[in-house]
Structure 1
Amino acid sequence: MRRELGYGMRALRRRPALLLAAWSVPEIVPTAGYGVAVAHATDAFLAGRSQAGLAWLAGLVAAAGLGALGAGQVYRRLGDLVEPVRDDLVRLVVGGALRRGAAGERTDGAVSRLNRQVEIVRDTYAGLILVVRTFVVTVVGVLTGLLSLAPVIALLVVPPFLLGFAASLAILGKAARRVQGSLAADEQLTTSAGTAFSGVRDLTAAGAEDFAADLVGEPIDAHAAAERALAKVAALRTLCFAVGGWLPLLILLAAGPWLLGRGVTTGTLLGGLTYVLLGLQPALNTVMAALGDSGLRYVVTLSRILDSGPPAEKPAPAAVPRNHQARLHKVSFAYGAHAEPVLRDLDLVVPEGDHLAVVGPSGIGKSTLAGLVCGLLAPTGGRVLLGRVQPEQLSADLLAKTRVLIPQEAYVFSGTVADNITYLAPDATPQQIERAIVAVGAGTLVTRLGGTRAIVRPTQLSAGERQLIALVRAYLSPAPLAVLDEATCHLDPEAERRAEEAFAARPGTLIVVAHRISSALRARRILVLDGNDASLGRHTTLLRTSPLYRDLLGHWQAPRDGDQDQIQPAS
């Protein structure tokens, strides 16, 4: 339970939470004022000053209007707190399913968690925020009003109220365990009953009715015991409400003659009763009901989501790359525990300033290699180093500044052209933006769209146009290592040549997963992937020594005798 409550506290965004608290302040005014208004209005009416009594009631109405204004703003700010939590849970569920699927484990229930359980947590989380906020506002308002009205009444009613509330919090942990036990008993009973019902004919034929009764009887007894345990918790909750909600009222009524004898007016006593009946008692009832219902659903459901997420990993110490060299040492990777490795014992060094093309048949592992270099995939064997540092040791911000990847289907979002192309370089100047657009060859597209301030509608762009925008974005990125994973596959050969030459002239290192063999001809070095084998060299060397490379080029001649150049092995 502590884990789930801790998650909810950490999920609170500071700025939205502060705004929510700020807009809750106006609601304290009517809460603090209605008891005072009732007290003074009652005394005024008893004294025959009807106009003064009506004035106090009118003030109460005005304060209620102020509170309604604050309440309206509170609901507007609630989404800023709740929606990021849902996004985090979605990422958690998807990440956990992908991790377990890649490891060959079962991912049962992932769809249910993604759809139903995430929505349950979001709704209950929002409800709990509102209930707790209202409870705090009510308690602060009532306490303020009682202290201004008659501190002695506050001393009589506030302690038992807080005692009942504290007791209700103390049994929440027990209630959560009882609910989880009830769910487990229900699942066990369902499984046992289903087994017995599915074999009822065989059980009857074999005369095994007593065995079936024993099989189902034990889960029935366990489920009944779990339900009785829940009923006991409900009884304890009722007792807590009696202490916190009704005991203050009884104390105040019993102390009424004593208070009147000490100079407390009838109106003041009535105002105190108003605070208890219309303030403390409903607030306690609401918060206890919410914590006992929505709170338990939140804890139990979130617990199942957190248990299904990616396994917790110890945070790696912060590291800073010494350079932007990419190195793979004996790297292997397989999609699943029982799958054949896509890459096996691959050794590769891509020094600073290199221009490397990766070629090979479809499905040979070229995009996998790109994902490993960029830290999107973790090797199942060996190590990947960026500047002598493993990608998982880099913070997310530093990793984003170290490498940039443009996949085959790049993402373009709704917004201006400038928003899209400066996403990775928000401080880029207009001159830098213009140079990047021209260098990559996106000038015609940007002009047709209406300039950098024009609105981009992704569905109205072709795949090639989306790729051009993504290429400009990557070109502007400060990352010294650029990886083009068939990023120009939707461009014509001339547009592809211009974009690749722009990235080759860009300061830093370029790795191109080639879509056309012309990309390899423009590279300084070429990596040929062939199953679990790999060869690395220049074009002329590979042309003589790599049959697969010659095949890709359309050259089928055998290497000539006497060639002295030897291919540099990559694995």
Structure 2
Amino acid sequence: MNRPLRRALRRDPYQLVRLAGWSVAESAPSLVIGLAIARAIDEGFGAGRPGTGFAWLALLGGAWLLAAVGARQVVLAVAAIVEPFREELLAHVVDDALRHSAASGRGPGAGAVARSNLQVELARDAFASVITVVRSFAFTVVSVALGLAALVPQVLVLVLPPFVAGLVVFLLSLRALARRQREFILADERTATALAGMVGGLRDITACRAERRMADEVGLRVAEQAGAARSLARVTALRTVSLAVGGRLPILLILAGTPWLIGEGAGAGVILGALAYVTQSLAPALGNLVEGLGINGVRLRVALDRLLRDGEPPARAGARVAAVTGDGGAELRGVTFAYGPHAEPVIDGLDLSVAEGEHIAVVGPSGIGKSTLAALLTGLLRPASGRIEVCGVPADRLDPAGRVLIPQEAYVFRGSLWENLVYLAGDASPEAVGEAVAEIGLTGLVTRLGGLSAEVRSDLLSPADRQLIALARAYLAPARLVVLDEATCHLDPVAEARAEDAFARRGGTLIVIAHRLTSALRARRILVMDGTSVRLGTHEEMLATSPLYADLAGRWDPSSAQELVP
């Protein structure tokens, strides 16, 4: 998480030198304010020499003018550091959203939009604030310490211990602040996602009379966000304690220690100068640090954690999925799903176990729920009841790298053929790509296009060409579960058999929403969905137990490769 920050700070060393130099100029008043006040009173006005007093005040005024020039240059130097950081973050988020979208087969969603807009800008602004306040704090503290030492060294004993104590209290609270801030940001993103889904489906919600249910769901998200905000507010109360100890207690100690300081030779001007150092420089610096790190520093950490860890690209997450989840098996227990609260269930009480490495074909009439089952297995839909586990974790929480779904309409993006093939496996070797091309039967298309480096355009490819490219892309992916939802419907029977056999040899779990009966014959087991029941078994078992399957098999004509859809 800290890597982007280090890169941003090291990208242009000149900007750091420039920032440090102008920071010295900006902190000039912190160095001279107490000294100038003390000398103006003790050596000027108090001694009957107003000229000397005005001269010291003029020196303080010059320091403020120098600080104004320095402040302007500091803003420019900070911007030169922060803007490239923002561009790097934005590029990462956009790439991450596209990878997840390609892997899952669905759009980026409101969460990705929130990351690319709100959270990137939040991280940029927070980073700029952190640089500004930390730099200002460091230079101010050094300047005040030097000024107090030059004015009256004994006062350091009254100022530094409580100041350090207040600083320590604040720094110790940062971890809790970060945790509460993360909870608040995640709650905010869930609320945005719920609202976007509700707004996008208003017509369907009204048609299904699901207004109350949707209001309850969105209201729950809003309540969660409100609770997270209250929890965050309670933790931020520690900032008041740190400010009281570090910024206000030194003032009381100076006032209480005035007799001792006078006994050490300090005059009225010195006491006022010491108070000026604390009230005008040290306490505001601590307040700015607490405000900057306590809010913007924590926001920066949480935003980076959300952007760089939660949005990990799927091609890089394959190893993590394999390490955490193991094989590509699937387990469904009591799964029920309906498109709306008053609609008849498309899938009702389904129990299904798919072992790692198994090859299953799903057959049934059009509209019976085969694509719904595919969407449930890949986490695109959530069941109304029951549980679905894929690779040992809930299907909707599985890393996109753990599974691939290819729908009937294959997606090919503008770019080279190589880029299309390795999109889900960025580290694929030329040998692996060549193997995928040969196994899937893409060699003729590669030759026709002019090689793997040739630019492809989806609108200039046939539906069969697009399906072959999508199949080869899925073949190269690290996913242990592959679901083909009529993904070969535009291929001829020979090309379809070649592609399905390639996935069967590839390893992992293969589920094919069958378009032709030949797909079912190639599978190890067949899942028949007929609207009233679901049966699973071999070809011979289905012929004996499923009237629908027996009817489909009886009407199948191998010479014409008749489709399964009645």
TM range (shorter): 0.5 to 0.7
Deviations 1:241-299 (A, max 9, x none): 9x979x99xx9xxx9xx99x9999x9xx99x999998x87997898899999999x99x
Find the counterpart in structure 2 of residue 531 from structure 1.
531
Q: How do 1:156-305 residues align onto structure 2 when only pairs under 5 Å count?
A: none
**Residue aligning to 1:482:** 482
Aligned letter for 1:131?
Answer: S
Q: For the Cα contact (< 8 Å) 1:375–1:391, is it kept in 2?
A: no
CA change 1:276–1:413 in 2 (3 A) is farther
Match of 2:136 in 1: 138
Q: Structure 2: how far apart are the matches of 1:291 and 1:385?
A: 41
Q: Give the corresponding residue for 1:16.
A: 4
Report SS of the residue matched to 2:499: helix
Mapped partners of 1:372, 1:486: distance in 2: 16
* 1:73 equivalenced with 2:81 (yes/no): yes
Match of 2:344 in 1: 340
1:514 aligns with 2:514: yes
Q: Give the letter aligned to residue 144 of structure 1.
A: V
Deviations 1:191-247 (A, max 9, x none): xxxxxxxxxxxxxxxxxxxxxxxxxxxxxxxxxxxxxxxxxxxxxx9xx99x979x9
Map 1:491-502 to 2 at 5 A.
491-502=491-502
Distance 1:134 1:513, change over 3 A: same
Could you tell me how far apart the structure 2 residues matched to 1:418 and 1:68 are?
42
Alignment partner, residue 31 of structure 1: 23
In the alignment, the residues of structure 1 paired with residue 115 and residue 423 of structure 2 have an alpha-carbon distance, to the nearest angstrom, of: 33
The structural deviation recorded for 1:436 is 0.7
Could you say if the C-alpha distance between residues 123 and 525 of structure 1 is closer, same or farther in structure 2, counting changes exceeding 3 Å? Answer: closer
- 2:393 matched to which residue of 1? 391
Task: Give the distance between the partners of 2:542 and 2:475, measured in 1 at CA.
Answer: 30
Alignment-derived partner of residue 429 in structure 1: 429
Residue by residue over 1:361-401, the C-alpha shift from the partner in whole angstroms, topping out at 9 and shown as x without a partner, is: 22211122223444555544555455xx643299845x845
- Pair 1:371 & 2:378 matched: no
- CA deviations 1:131-189 (Å, max 9, x no partner) are 2331111111222344456645695999999999999999xx9xxxxxxxxxxxxxxxx
Give the letter for the 2:507 counterpart: P
Deviation at 1:435, TM superposition (A): 1.3
Structure 2 CA distance for partners of 1:347 and 1:159, relative to 1, 3 Å: closer
Distance 2:283 2:79 in 1: 20
User: In 2, distance between residues paired with 1:290 and 1:472?
Assistant: 50
Residue 445 of structure 1 aligns to a residue whose secondary structure is helix
Query: Identity of aligned pairs, percent?
Result: 43
C-alpha separation in 1, matches of 2:407 and 2:361: 15
Deviations 1:526-557 (A, max 9, x none): 32211131233444664565443355457299
The separation in 1 between residues aligned to 2:325 and 2:27, in whole angstroms, is: 62
**Compared with structure 1, are the counterparts of its residues 436 and 544 closer, same or farther at alpha carbon in structure 2 (3 Å cutoff)?**
same
- When residues 136 and 454 of structure 1 are mapped into structure 2, their CA distance, relative to the original with a 3 A threshold, is farther
**Who is 1:562 aligned against?**
none
Report the 3-state secondary structure (helix = DSSP H, G, I; strand = E; otherwise coil) of the residue aligned with 2:365: coil
Residues 380, 396 of structure 2: 8 Å contact kept = no
How far 1:507 moved relative to its partner? 3.3
Alignment of 1:47-58 (within 5 A): none
Report deviation, 1:72. 0.4
**One-letter code aligned to 2:20:** I
Q: What does 1:445-464 correspond to in 2, within 5 Å?
A: 445-454=445-454, 463-464=463-464
Alpha-carbon distance change, 18 to 539 in structure 1, aligned in 2, over 3 angstroms: same
Q: Residues 512 and 138 of structure 1: is their aligned pair in 2 closer, same or farther, counting only changes over 3 Å?
A: same
Give secondary structure in 1 for the equivalent of 2:394: helix
Q: Are the aligned partners of 1:415 and 1:456 in contact in 2 as well (CA < 8 Å)?
A: yes
Which amino acid is the alignment partner of residue 18 of structure 1? R
Secondary structure of 1:370's counterpart equals helix
Residue 327 of structure 1 and its aligned partner are, at CA, apart by: 4.5
Q: TM-score normalised to the size of structure 1? A: 0.53
SS in 2 for 1:363: coil
1:321-340 aligned within 5 A: 321=326, 324-340=328-344
Contact 1:82–1:126 at 8 Å: present in 2 too? no
User: Whole-Å Cα distance in 2 between the matches of residues 294 and 324 of structure 1?
Assistant: 42
- 407-416 or 281-290, which moves further after superposition? 281-290
DSSP 3-state at the match of 2:445: helix
The CA deviation string for residues 78-116 of structure 1, in whole angstroms up to 9 with x for no partner, is: 3445787899999xxxxxxx9xxxxxxxxxxx98x9989
Conserved? CA contact 2:379–2:395, under 8 Å: no
Please say if residues 361 and 525 of structure 2, whose CA atoms lie closer than 8 Å, have aligned partners that are also in contact: yes
Contact 1:134/1:283, CA 8 A, preserved across alignment:
no
CA distance in 2, matches of 1:421, 1:339: 40
Distance 2:92 2:534 in 1: 44
1:85-96 matched pairs, under 5 angstroms: none
Query: Any conservation in 2 of the 1:410–1:470 contact (CA below 8 Å)?
Result: yes
Q: CA RMSD in A?
A: 6.3
Quick check: 1:319–1:394 contact (8 Å CA) kept in 2? no
- Taking structure 1 as reference, are residues 449 and 139 closer, same or farther at Cα in structure 2, changes over 3 Å only? farther
Structure-2 residue corresponding to 1:563: none
1:225 is aligned to none
Per-residue deviation, 1:499: 1.8
Give, in angstroms, the shift of residue 501 of structure 1. 2.9
Tell which deviates more after alignment, 128-137 or 334-343: 334-343
Measure, in 2, the Cα distance between the counterparts of 1:82 and 1:157.
44
The structural deviation recorded for 1:514 is 1.5
What is the identity, as a one-letter code, of the residue corresponding to 2:363?
V
